[in-house]
């Protein structure tokens, strides 16, 4: 299994690839199914004028993102990084394009 940093890097790469040229930040909200077979996404970006708008990622990006989120959740459970709780079910990812910085907030039940 790959490490956490590799997965984060791949998530950032996908978000960077779908960002409009004028975006400063990309925000993704995701809700994973318990069965790891589908995910609901919402993508927004913040532009140079600090306005927020939504974007679509496309089928390939969504499929790749699902694979990465499932891999990340599995890694958290296997390494007991959930403090004994079940794996997280959703997350909000912010990718700051200017800083090239990724942050993730996980949601647990």
Query: 19: domain CATH number?
Result: 3.30.500.20
Q: If pLDDT is split at 50, 70 and 90, which confidence band does 2 have?
A: confident
The range of the structural domain enclosing residue 82 comes to 4-107
| pTM exceeds 0.85 for this model | yes
Domains of the chain: total: 1
Report pLDDT digits (tens) over 45-70.
999 999 999 999 999 999 999 999 99
Cα 49 from chain centroid (whole Å): 24
């Amino acid at each position: 299994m790959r490490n956490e940093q590799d997965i984060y890097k791949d998530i950032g790469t996908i978000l960077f690839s779908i960002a409009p040229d004028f975006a400063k930040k990309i925000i993704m909200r995701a809700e994973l199914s318990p069965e790891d077979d589908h995910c609901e996404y919402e993508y927004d970006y913040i532009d140079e004028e600090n306005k927020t708008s939504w974007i679509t990622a496309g089928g390939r990006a969504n499929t790749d993102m699902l694979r990465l989120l499932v891999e990340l959740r599995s890694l958290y459970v296997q390494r007991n990084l959930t403090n004994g709780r079940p794996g997280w079910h959703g997350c909000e990812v912010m990718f700051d394009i200017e800083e090239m910085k990724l942050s993730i907030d996980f949601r647990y039940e």
